[in-house]
């Protein structure tokens, strides 16, 4: 039995976990937690079960007990595909990590791929691809090669295809890449982890660096806290005078970033501007706008158009 699988491998434990889920959905997280504890007595090495128990305890206001369960999840699943480290940081039990676990992000989007576009467009009023495309169009440039980092299912590709000669897309999730390939818009698609520098091999076609005169990242950087590593990647990808166009969630005033309850990161404009400058980019234009909804509430973001020094 894989330690992170969603089933415990015990029929009775799974049945109790199902009842616990129904109790939580019915607004009884404390009762759900009690029943989940009984399930884990039968399957004590079930990482997914400990994570569910932690979330029930958290919703029931049992902070210390939730922390214990998140720690247990992490002990059973060191790769942290559930994002327990992020939860512990939000509960004040650990420092905010510079980035989420790669396996957590990969699993999140692999599981989300089939319903990703429907959820974003129909339910969350997601508009970043169109707004970034408008920002790109405002330059009046025709680009030889565009690299779309974190391309996901390829929502940005059709919006900018007309103004680029070659379009490449990279993403951590193979399931997302498969959806992007169905659009038949990208000239090249490949898996790559933006949090892993200096291993950039997946991002370079025939080891060709500094080939892109446009680099994009639509709704990607909120899954990375400290942006130094990804900006270093962009610096290597970007040709002289290349444009870098991307979005972040707006952290407001200040000069840093923080982890939000959504388990996404928000970045301040001052932080992003300073980091761009440090990596050889000039901020040409910024646009503050609503980028999506979350829980029915608008999420504020910032769109950036930056240019690499000639």
State how far the Cα of 187 lies from the Cα of 208, in Å rounded to an integer.
16
Q: Are residues 250 and 125 in the same domain?
A: yes
- Assigned domain for 104 exists: no
Query: Is 80 exceeded by the pLDDT of residue 180?
Result: yes
Query: Is 80 exceeded by the pLDDT of residue 246?
Result: yes
Q: What is the pLDDT of residues 267-289, one digit of tens each?
A: 999 999 999 999 999 999 999 99
Domain total of the chain: 2
Cβ atoms of 103 and 80 closer than 8 Å:
yes
Domain boundary among 95, 126, 148: 95
Q: Are residues 78 and 193 in the same domain?
A: no
Q: Is the pTM of this model over 0.85?
A: yes
Query: Is 90 exceeded by the pLDDT of residue 112?
Result: no
Domain boundary among 95, 120, 139: 95
Buried b (16+ CB within 10 A) or exposed e, 100-125: bbbbbbbbbbeebbeebeeebeeebe
Q: Which pLDDT score is estimated for 6?
A: 73
Residue 262: give the domain boundaries. 110-308
């Amino acid at each position: 039995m894989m330690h992170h699988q969603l089933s415990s491998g015990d029929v009775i434990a799974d049945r109790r976990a199902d009842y616990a889920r129904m109790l939580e959905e019915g607004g009884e997280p404390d009762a759900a937690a009690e029943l989940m504890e009984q399930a884990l007595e039968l399957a004590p090495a079930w990482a997914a079960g400990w994570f569910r128990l932690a979330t029930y305890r958290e919703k029931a206001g049992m902070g210390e007990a939730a922390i214990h369960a998140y720690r247990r999840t992490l002990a059973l699943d060191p790769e942290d595909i559930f994002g327990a480290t992020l939860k512990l940081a939000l509960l004040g039990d650990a420092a905010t990590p510079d980035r989420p676990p790669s396996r957590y992000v990969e699993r999140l989007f692999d599981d989300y791929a089939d319903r990703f576009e429907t959820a974003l467009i129909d339910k969350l009023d997601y508009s970043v691809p169109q707004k970034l495309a408008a920002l790109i169009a405002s330059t009046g440039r025709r680009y030889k090669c565009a690299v779309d980092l974190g391309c996901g299912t390829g929502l940005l590709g059709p919006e900018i295809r007309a103004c680029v000669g070659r379009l490449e897309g990279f993403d951590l999730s193979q399931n997302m890449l498969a959806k992007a390939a169905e659009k038949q818009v990208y000239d090249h698609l490949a898996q790559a982890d933006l949090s892993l520098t200096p291993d950039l091999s997946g991002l370079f076609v025939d080891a060709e660096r500094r080939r892109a005169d446009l680099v994009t990242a639509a709704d990607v950087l909120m899954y990375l806290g400290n942006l130094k590593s990804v900006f270093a990647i962009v610096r290597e990808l970007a040709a002289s005078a290349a444009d870098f166009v991307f979005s972040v969630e707006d952290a407001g005033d200040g000069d840093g970033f923080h982890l939000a309850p959504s388990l996404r990161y928000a970045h301040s404009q001052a932080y992003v501007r300073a980091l761009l400058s440090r990596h050889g980019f000039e901020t040409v234009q910024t646009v503050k706008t609503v980028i999506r909804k979350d829980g029915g509430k608008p999420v504020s973001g910032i769109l950036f158009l930056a240019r690499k020094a000639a």
